[in-house]
Amino acid sequence: MQLLNGMTGALIGSAIAAVGILTAPLYVDLFQIMQLTVFAAMAVLALSLGFIWGYGGILCFGQTSFFGLGAYTYAVAAINFADSTPAILLAILIPVIFAALLGYFMIYGGISDVYLGVITLTVSLILFNLVNSTAGDFYKIGDARLGGFNGMPGVPTFNLPGNPGYILTPEQAWMVTGIALIVVYLGLRLLIASSFGRIIIAIRENETRAALLGYDPRIYKLITFMIGGAIAGFAGALYVNWGAFVSPTIFALGLSAQIIIWVIIGGRGTLIGPIIGCLLLQWLVTEIGAQQAFDANFVLGAILIVFVLLVPKGIAPTLRDMVMSRFAERGDAPPDVSVKVKT
Q: Where do the domains of the chain lie?
A: 2-252
Q: What is the pLDDT along the chain (343 residues), one digit of tens a residue?
A: 444 555 787 888 899 999 999 999 999 999 999 999 999 999 999 999 999 999 999 989 989 999 999 999 999 999 999 999 999 999 999 999 999 999 999 999 888 878 898 999 999 999 999 999 998 888 999 999 999 999 999 999 999 998 999 999 999 999 999 999 999 999 999 999 999 999 999 999 999 999 999 999 999 999 999 999 999 999 999 999 999 999 999 998 889 989 999 999 999 999 999 999 999 999 988 887 766 666 777 777 888 888 888 888 899 888 888 888 777 776 655 555 444 444 3
Which residues is 153 bridged to in the sheet?
245
0.75 exceeded by the pTM?
yes
d(CA 182, CA 274): 13
Reduced to 3 states (helix: H, G, I; strand: E, B; else coil), residue 246 is: strand
Q: What are φ and ψ of residue 159, in 5° steps? A: -120, 170
**pLDDT given at position 337:** 47
Instruction: Say if CB 232 and CB 95 are below 8 A apart.
Output: yes
Which residue in 62, 73, 67, 50 sits closest to 103, CA to CA?
62
